[in-house]
Each structure stands twice: as C-alpha cells, then as structure tokens.
Amino acid sequence: MLLQVDKATTSKFLLRRRTTSEKLVDISFKNFVVTMASMVAIILFSIFAVVYYESTESISRYGLRFLFSSAWNPVTDEYGAFTAIYGTLFTSIASLLIAIPLGVGTAIFITENIIPKYIRDLIGIMVELLAAIPSVVLGLWAVFIMEPFIRPFLNMVHEIFGFIPFFGTEPLGAGMMPAILILVVMILPIITSISKDSLNQVPSNLRQAAYGIGATRWTTIFKVIIPAAISGITGGVLLALGRAMGETMAVTMIIGNSNNFSWSIFAPSYTISSMLANQFGEADGSQVSSLMYAALILMILTLMVNVFAQWIVKKLSLKYQ
C-alpha cells in the first residue's frame, strides 16, 4: 500500500523499501549478539556443573568431613582439604590486613594535593602497572630475591617470639609468610586503584564544606571523604579478597606446598589453588575427584566474596544518594 503512493523520487532511492537481504542481515545480527551474550551464562553454568559433577564421587564419600580433615594420602586414598582451606583463608585475610592500610593510604596520598599532580599521577600509574606484572614473574622474584632477603628478619622474629605458636618454626625458605607478602604485592594495585577512583568521585563541595567550617585536612579525610567513598573502597577490598583467595602461581612457587598442618606462619603450607596447580597434572582416580571437590570449595568461596562485593557496592552507594 505504501508503494502506490510513493513519489516519483522513489526511483532514486532503491532501498526506500527494505530488501529481504537487508532485513535478514539485521535479524541475523541480532540473533548473533544474543547468542554471544548467552555464551557468558552458558560458560558460567557449565564451569559449576562440570566441577560439581567431577567431584560427586568425593562429595558422597567424605561429605563435610572433607573440610575438617588434613589427611592427603594418595597411597591410602584418604583425602581432606583442611590445610588447604585454612591456608587459603589465612593467607588471603592476612594479606588483606596488610594491604588495606597501604592501599587506602596510597590512594589518599595520590588524591590529596600534598605534592604536585604529576608526581601523584606517576605514582598512580606505577601502582597500576604493578597489576600488569604476571603472577608467575612475581613468583620468580619472590623465590630468588624477596625470600632470601627477608629470611634473616623472619629468623629474628622466630628467635624472639618463638614461644608463640604462630612463629614456632624456623623459617627455612618457602612458607606461608613469604606467600602472604607476595599476595600483598598482588592485591595492592586493586585496592589502590579502586579506592583512588571512589575518592576521586566524592563531590568537591563536600570537601569544601568541611574545610569551610575549619576542619583540618585529615579530619576532612576521615570524617567526610572516606565515609562518602566507603562503598567503592569496600567493593575494592572484597574484590581484592576474591583475587587473593584464587591467586595461584606466585603462591604455589613460594608457599612450600605441604599438606601438614602447622600453626606457624613460617612453615610450608598449602592453598586450594596451589594444591590444584601442584597435583592436578599427575592425579588420577579418586584424587582427581577430591581435587575437584577442593576446586568447588574455592569457587564457592570466591563466588560468595564476589557476589557480596557487588551487593555491598550497590547497597552502600544507594545509602549515599
């Protein structure tokens, strides 16, 4: 019907009526992008499904007992992931406790006008470049440079505070403490850059209001700026926690990979990811299933942290609007 009333000009515009091929391209493109978007969902679901399916044997055999036993013996076929779970949680939380003040402090330093802007920008870029260095290179550096350097200091701590179980064993190289320190290096850029972004987003009139009533710089920072940026900072800290729990290579190279449980932070230990990296290639039979069970636990832990991070960012930022 539209065609009949077309003007004489129609001849100049061949596509005034859309051709079937043009419509086909349009529709197939839409179908293509929908499929691509679904891939994310499919991959995520299949990762969970595959890891769960592969670990069913171990789950039905050990149940929750797996979480509290530190037996790991391929010869007798007895497995428990307590040491690895404890190691994962302990190393990641300890590194977080060190990295939070450092990262947030750095972020404050480079968002305040204490020193000239180009130096602050340079520091910001350098911290972000630190995130670009691959884990395995940091591991190499930790094994050959950092660990030999800090060992005398750790030894000193051991000699003075050796009566406390946490420092109870002699540092002999690889162990939990160097792993914690290298994790600090790895998560520092995340905390710093996310905190920096959230601090930068605090509206400048808040700061002016505080200065206007005679608050000092640090009163302003602690009472006004940080509370306003807290949602972003918390989100960054939780993302860093997730990252630290899943971090593999550097930790595997420096933690010593031992399944014997010890309270001492100088003794060799395990994390779930280092256990996977270390054993998965050569494992077979029920050991694979147990490793998959451990992988499932790691996934659930990181998933909880990440979902909580997304939730808290939404929750806290809503509160501030």
Partner 1 sequence: MINKISHNKKNFKNDSSISVSLDNVSIKYGNSVAVKNVFCDIKKNQVTSFIGPSGCGKSTVIRAINRMNDLIEGCELSGSVIFEGTDIYAKDIDPVEVRRRIGMVFQQPNPFPKSIYENIAFGARVNGFTGNMDQLVEESLIKAAVWDECKDKLNESGYSLSGGQQQRLCIARTIAIEPDVILMDEPCSALDPLSTLKVEETIHELKRNFTIIIVTHNMQQANRVSDYTAFFNTEKDGKDPGGKVGFLVEFSKTKNMFNSPKQKSTQDYISGKFG
Partner 2 sequence: MDYNSKKALTYNPSLTRNIGNKALTIISALFAIISVLPLILVISYVLIKGGSYINFETLILEPEPPGDDLLSAGGIGPAITGTFIMTFIASIISIPVGVGGGIYLAEYSKSGRFAKFVRFGSNVLAGVPSIIAGVFIYAIIVSTKILFGSMFSGIAGGISLSILMLPTIIKTTDEALKLVPDNLRKAALGIGASKFTMICNVTLPAAFSSISTGIILGLARAAGETAPLIFTALFSRYYITSFDDLFYEMGSLSVLIYNFALEPYESQNQLAWAASFILVVILLSLNILSRWINRLDAFSKNKV
Find the helix packing angle between 286-319 and 82-111, rounded to 10°: 30
Q: Is 57 exposed, middle or buried (0-12, 13-18, 19+ CB in 10 A)?
A: middle
- Beta-carbon count within 10 A of 232 CB: 21
Per CB under 8 A, contacts with partner 1 among 17-56 are: 17-18, 23, 26
Only segment of 78-86, 106-114, 162-170, 202-210 that touches partner 2 (CB under 8 A):
106-114
Residue 172 interacts with, from partner 1, partner 2, none (CB under 5-8 Å by kind): none
Q: Which of 134, 148, 173, 285 binds partner 2 (CB under 8 A)?
A: 134
25 binds, among partner 1, partner 2, none (CB under 5 to 8 A by kind): partner 2
Q: Give the residue from 296, 101, 103 showing the smallest Cα distance to 187.
A: 103
**129 is an interface residue for partner 2 by CB under 8 A:** yes
CA distance to 53, 71, 187, 255, per residue, from 66 (Å):
17, 9, 29, 22
User: Least separation, in Å, of the C-beta of 216 and partner 2?
Assistant: 5
Q: Which of the residues 302 through 321 are near partner 2 (CB under 8 A)?
A: 302-303, 305-307, 310
Q: How far is the CB of 13 from partner 1 (least distance, A)?
A: 5
Tell me the window of 1-9, 43-51, 160-168, 216-224 that interacts with partner 1 (CB under 8 A). Answer: 1-9
Q: How far is the CB of 263 from partner 2 (least distance, A)?
A: 26
Angle between helices 286-319 and 272-279 (to 10 degrees): 150
Tell me the C-alpha distance between 235 and 195, whole Å. 9
Distance CA 94, CA 105 (A): 17
Q: Residues in the site for partner 1, rule: CB under 8 A?
A: 1-2, 5, 7, 9, 12-18, 23, 26
